[in-house]
Chains A and B, each alone.
Chain A
Amino acid sequence: MIIVDEVYKRYRNDHGFGKWVLQGVSFTIPPKVNVGLVGRNGAGKSTLLGLIGGVDTPTRGRVERRCRVSWPMGFGGGLQGALTGRQNAKFVCRIHGHEEDLPDRLRYIEDFAELGEAFDAPIKTYSSGMKSRLQFALSLAFDFDVYISDEITSTGDAAFKNKAAAAFKALADRAGLIMVSHGESTLKEFCTAGIWLHEGQAYWFDSINDALIEYKKCLNR
């Protein structure tokens, strides 16, 4: 269960503070519920994912994680460009306390990512699709209760998307998912509930379809 309580967030810029991105956002995500986050560009979707994932701290308010939450996967974050895919994978295994079964985890990551020889090439030579494959494989190698995905499925090819979908389906009975995507079909495929972010507020919908309807209504206005 994840509890977001009266969260405010604004960023610091060169002249002090920017405008409020989130203004008093509150909701509770029950266990094993897949949630899609919708909202226009700049509405604060990635900010909210960062706060839930514990990468950033709210300016005010509180985020409570009562389960194991993954890091937010997306846009090449968490990978060091100069090191190879394998070296990055080893690092992530180690910080998650998997020193003993490192070879098993590495084999799983290598098999799932299907990068071939590129697994031993530096990350800076990867395309965005290849990075997504690696990040996705990395997060699946660990048993989280909630996985956070920031547009990670949008850069992969068709084969990868199918694989990702199958993997998430398989997880569905033991783990939840919080995802941002601009693909409506992706959201409908993966998510049951939805959160619509609009002008610093978050609106919870038990059905992702209702969230998408509200979101589109606001776009046409």
Chain B
Amino acid sequence: MRTSSLIAWTVWKALFLREAVARLSARRAAWVWILAEPIVHLVLLNVLFGFVLQRVVSGIDGGLFITTGVLGFFLARNTAMRPKDAINANAALYTYRQVLPVDTVLVRAAIEAVLFMVSALFLFTGLGLLGYQVFPHDFFQVMLAFAILWLAGIGLGLMLSVASKLVPEVGNVAGMVFAPLYLVSGVMYPPSAIPPAYQSWILLNPFVHGIETVRTGFFPQYHTIPGVSVGYLLGFAMFTVCLGLALHVRFATRLVAQ
């Protein structure tokens, strides 16, 4: 007899390999697109805002400033949105009772983490070769902030996957919500550029805390607004992960049903 944890582990490994193959062979040179998406996005943003930002964020390179923001936001967004459709995409596999819907969601989140690391490494190597100062002054803090952003993405992904399976419209709404969220997460501008009276509003958004923590870890001379705390994001992540897992347990039968 195999133990439950061993079965879960082998299922995760098998699903991971399968998802990776599917992602990388989805279209011609799929890996090029996976690497190119953030790069093209960053180049466009740099052309649009890089010059303006030189003045707003003194002493910090506008390109690196945007890069840290975009990477942090994309990590959280992709980890929330990709697993959203995992339950339906893998419906054929629930024939094997070892495979549970929650496995497919978690494995997709792991795939996003790996893709993030590859594209971040690629990006920073490229920027380094172009002469940018790409070594963060507090490496540990940067990694921690990215990790918690990823965890928050998993929490949202767990919740959205159940919600969009039970009520398909939720999935569409989630896609619409992430577009304006991008604008209020301080990706393209420093939150300190917002009038102090309204700064408490933007601090309600948990992603701001993660992105700003990445930046204070990256640039020694960067000053963020008061009230930014990685603990707020961690609390949000823990809450959504627990709620998401609870939803998966509560609706276990209905998630498997065709």
Contacts and interface: CB of A to CB of B under 8 A. Distances in A.
A80 B15 CA distance: 12
A97 B6 contact: yes
Contacts of B92: 76-81
Given A94-B13, A97-B2, A53 B18 contact: no
B93 to A, nearest CB: 7
Contacts of B197: none
B93 A87 contact: no
Contact of B95 (A71, A90, A96): A71
Given A12-B257, A82-B22, A55 B94 contact: yes
B194 interface: no
Interface string B100-137: 00000000000000000000000000000000000000
Interface residues of A, number: 26
A56 B96 CA distance: 10
Contacts of A95: 7, 10-11, 14, 96, 98-99
A12 B256 CA distance: 12
B254 interface: yes
Contact of B96 (A71, A82, A83, A97): A71
Contacts of A57: 252-253
Interface string B234-246: 0000000000000
Interface string B218-258: 00000000000000000000000000000000001110110
A176 interface: no
Q: Summarize B's interface: helix, strand, loop or mixed.
A: helix
Contact of A91 (B2, B14, B256, B257): B14
Nearest to B98: A95
B99 A56 contact: no
B97 interface: yes
A114 interface: no
A53 B14 contact: no
- Central interface residue in A11, A12, A57, A71, by most chain B CB within 10 Å: A71
A97 B7 contact: yes
Interface in A10-53: 11-12, 53
Interface in B192-219: none
A72 interface: yes
A59 to B, nearest CB: 9
Given A71-B96, A91-B15, 8 more contacts: A12-B254, A12-B257, A53-B95, A79-B92, A80-B22, A83-B18, A91-B18, A97-B2
Interface of B: 2, 6-7, 10-11, 13-15, 17-18, 21-22, 26, 90, 92-99, 252-254, 256-257
9 smallest A-B Cβ distances: which pairs?
A94-B14, A78-B95, A54-B97, A77-B95, A95-B14, A95-B98, A71-B95, A57-B253, A95-B11
